[in-house]
């Protein structure tokens, strides 16, 4: 299933984050329980971060593809444009061995990690990267 890049936000960091809004896999992902801020591993799920496409693969027929090059990336200096930002996000994911993927009803206007992680409505977790 293809997810519109406007329904995503790639956030750079030591452990990068992919936020998904209105994702078809939302109900298949586990409810996130991270009251202390430690995001659990999302068992049975993986991510393939690439410059042009990002694949989130789950159990059975669950999964989605994001046209990553067209998706917004925040964090870092990002002086080189969209491809540089996504390349840097992919590098972050490679260094971290994966990424945190969080599915929400809609993307937040402001990134408030403590509110997101304790909302009780967010689904997802850390997904290991496949080579």
User: Residue 28 has what pLDDT?
Assistant: 98
Determine the pLDDT at residue 77: 57
22: CB partners within 8 A, 6+ apart? 7, 105, 106
- In the chain, domain spans: 5-128
Tokens of 126: 């850390």
Task: Kindly report the number of other CB atoms within 10 A of residue 124's CB atom.
Answer: 28
Helix (H, G, I), strand (E, B) or coil at 70: helix
Q: Report which of 83, 94, 101 is spatially closest to residue 130, judged by C-alpha positions.
A: 94
Q: What is the pLDDT along the chain (131 residues), one digit of tens a residue?
A: 999 999 999 999 999 999 999 999 999 999 998 877 789 999 999 999 999 999 999 999 999 999 999 999 998 654 545 567 999 999 999 999 999 999 999 999 999 998 888 888 999 999 999 97
Widest distance between CA atoms in the chain: 40
CA distance 37 to 26: 21
What is the H or E stretch that residue 92 is in?
helix 82-96
Give pLDDT, residue 34. Answer: 82
Question: What global pTM score does this model have?
Answer: 0.93
Say what the pLDDT of residue 26 is.
Answer: 97
């Amino acid at each position: 299933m293809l997810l519109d890049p406007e329904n995503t936000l790639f956030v750079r960091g030591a452990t990068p984050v992919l936020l998904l809004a209105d994702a078809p896999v939302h109900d298949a992902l586990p409810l996130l329980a991270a009251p202390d801020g430690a995001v659990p591993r999302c068992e049975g799920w993986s991510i393939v971060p690439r410059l042009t496409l990002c694949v989130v693969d789950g159990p059975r027929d669950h999964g989605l593809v994001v046209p990553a090059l067209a998706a917004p990336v925040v964090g870092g200096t990002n002086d080189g444009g969209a491809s540089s930002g996504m390349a840097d996000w992919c590098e972050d994911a490679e260094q971290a061995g994966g990424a945190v993927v969080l599915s929400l009803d809609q993307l937040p206007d402001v990134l408030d990690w403590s509110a997101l992680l304790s909302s009780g409505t967010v689904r997802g977790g850390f997904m290991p990267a496949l080579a």
